[in-house]
Structure 1
Amino acid sequence: MTPQTQPEQAKTVPGLRERKKARTKAAIQREAVRLFREQGYTGTTVEQIAEAAEVAPSTVFRYFPTKQDLVFSRDYDLPFATMFQAQSPDLTPIQAERQAIRTMLEDVTDQELALQRERWLLIVSEPELWGASLGSISRSMQVMSEQVAKRAGRGAGDAAVRAYTGAVFGVMLQVSLEWANDPEMDFPTALDEALHCLEDLRP
């Protein structure tokens, strides 16, 4: 098994039930984001979202326990961690990060990418969501710190690991904020180029 084939082999093909659940979840979030943008976050109810997505309110809560969860998502943390660790040990952490991100984004459709941008627009325009985003970012940073520490053979609390994670997330946040204001931006390319500038940074 070569390092290049590991990320591909780490993918699994979901069954019919899983695909149906994924479509339902995506439809709920898509309608929620649309209504949030049209009516405002606080002015939109879960009942309205359920009606727009043609599901029961209980189904909305099954996939999204809180209203904020309709905007925030941690669906990428575990797949990213798996792909990051699957990269060749000969790669630097930044190279492994870039390769893992490229692999993940290969399967993201234009529609899904557009939805992610809409989510970012909501987060930066709604004070309640912007404040709540810090918790989501902190959890994702913790996941990255743990993965980088594991790869580098250091502790998650190591100063170099913390500095590395902070720098990477700073770049990712900056590109994401620019993307929210620029619908023409090629987000995958812009993010990859920005992370490339950190090439000499390593824990």
Structure 2
Amino acid sequence: MGLREKKARKVREAIYEAMLTLAERDGYEAATLEQVAERAEVAISTVYRYFANKDAILLDPIERGVGALAAQFRARPEDEDVVVSLGRTVHAALDVGPEHMTRTRRLRAQLDRAPGPRARLWDVVQRERVLLEDAIAERSGRDQLWNAAAAHLTLMIIAMAYDHDRDSLDATPPADHADRIMTMLHGTGAPLPARR
């Protein structure tokens, strides 16, 4: 990464941290871009150079991560079973350090309270799913329905692991909780809907 890219990343991070801190202190709706600029110690024009609006700032870490699951899946050995590769992709995506989890919890708390960015999050998740589905299709040899179901289930497991982290007093790390979900889904008596 060059000097310009490092500087841009540092500025984006300062703007994001300022937005998140203001949202935590005053509420997302009350925070203004002018306040964000002031707290980040940048000009308002700099904020607009990087972000179109408050929603874009709040969703920035998620936006920058779009495609990561597909990339992790593609990095798995090509001769590995697709289902195993997906399981290891899920575990790797959730096996993050405490600092990352703290940042994720802070962001999730704001998304739970801010309907605008939460609604836009669906578009981001949709793009992530399509990219993962394409990566699965490259290796699976299965039909489109199978690939779509695999991508949807993968994202569902990740979402359930993050929900458990947010909603439970159980201190199980998200990666370990995802492993428990996958084990349950592959066991007998899994709660998968069936039409008999």
* TM superposition score normalised by structure 1: 0.76
Which of these residues, 72, 76, 79, is aligned with residue 83 of structure 1? 72
Whose helix proportion is higher, 1 or 2?
2
Residue 28 of structure 1: CA displacement?
A: 1.5
Paired residue for 1:170? Answer: 156
Paired residue for 2:105? Answer: 117
Question: How far, CA to CA, are the matches of 2:10 and 2:97 in structure 1?
Answer: 13
Question: How far, CA to CA, are the matches of 2:149 and 2:135 in structure 1?
Answer: 14
1:23 is aligned to 2:10 = yes
Partner SS state of residue 190, structure 1: helix
Closer, same or farther: CA 123–25 of 1 in aligned 2, 3 Å? same
> Deviation per CA, 1:118-161, whole angstroms, max 9, x where unpaired?
11111122233332322222121111111111221456xx1111
> Deviation per CA, 1:147-187, whole angstroms, max 9, x where unpaired?
111221456xx111121122122221122222233585523
Residue 53 of structure 1: CA displacement?
A: 1.0
Paired residue for 1:147? Answer: 135
Question: How far, CA to CA, are the matches of 1:185 and 1:122 in structure 2?
Answer: 22
1:64 is aligned to 2:40 = no
Over the residues paired in the alignment, what is the CA RMSD in angstroms? 2.6
1:99 is aligned to 2:88 = yes
Closer, same or farther: CA 182–129 of 1 in aligned 2, 3 Å? farther
Larger-gyration structure (1/2): 2
> Deviation per CA, 1:59-107, whole angstroms, max 9, x where unpaired?
222322232111222212234323321211222334323434555667x
Closer, same or farther: CA 86–124 of 1 in aligned 2, 3 Å? same
Is this contact kept in 1: 2:67–2:128, CA < 8 A? no
Closer, same or farther: CA 60–96 of 1 in aligned 2, 3 Å? farther
Structure 1: 5+ residue stretches without partners: 1-13
Is this contact kept in 1: 2:19–2:36, CA < 8 A? yes
* TM superposition score normalised by structure 2: 0.78
Q: How many residues align?
A: 184
Structure 2: 5+ residue stretches without partners: 188-196
Residue 46 of structure 1: CA displacement?
A: 0.9
Percent sequence identity is 23
Question: How far, CA to CA, are the matches of 1:99 and 1:20 in structure 2?
Answer: 34
Question: How far, CA to CA, are the matches of 2:83 and 2:54 in structure 1?
Answer: 34
Is this contact kept in 2: 1:81–1:143, CA < 8 A? yes
Is this contact kept in 1: 2:161–2:175, CA < 8 A? no
